[in-house]
Structure 1
Amino acid sequence: MADRSLQDITIAGTRLRVRTSLNDEKVSQLVDLVDSKVKSAMKRSNSKSYHKALILAALNIAEELLTLKNQVRNELDTLEDRARDVLTELESTEIGISI
């Protein structure tokens, strides 16, 4: 297991202390992403509730994650189909070589 350290972060004005094995750069990227999603949700929402903005941001991030997972799954299926096609073609055009 990787070493875990405590890091202080701030999201939407709320300070948190988290224990993580991620490096500072990765934590900063995650914090920036979540913070921007929360701020965006606050702007789009008529409510000034951080709670509501956090839920909307979480839903937005979850939607992006599912979309990316589906895209990756579709790409993988396409690659697998192509690999099967190539293998079938190779098998059907196999030539005998004797040494």
Structure 2
Amino acid sequence: MRWAYSGDRPTSGILNSTRELGGSLGLAILATVAANTTGSATDPTALAHGYTTALRLAAALLATGSIIATLIVPHTAAPSTSHTIHPDTQPAPPMLVRLTKLES
């Protein structure tokens, strides 16, 4: 997802919104699966069975997503982060900032 981390503000907002909504939707689906599996029973064994079913579904979705991501994401070498300075170029001079006290 190189485009998601390009530094553009709209893309970053879309990425953050997708993460928030995805987590909320995922939790709602798992809670629904647990509630449907448990039914109207209130004993601890039925509740444990409902949560176990929901957590197994979550584990299966995680494994499936990991396999799909491994197959889809291209395997490329990371770009070089070394910054070389050519002998004919000089670094920019430091900027001086003057702080003044505002008089009221």
Structure whose alpha-carbon radius of gyration is higher: 2
- Greater share of strand residues, 1 or 2? 1
- Which structure's residues are more often helix, by fraction? 1
**After TM superposition, is the score higher than 0.5?**
no
TM bracket (short chain): 0.3 to 0.5
Q: TM-score w.r.t. structure 1 length?
A: 0.34
- With the length of structure 2 as denominator, give the TM-score of the two structures: 0.33
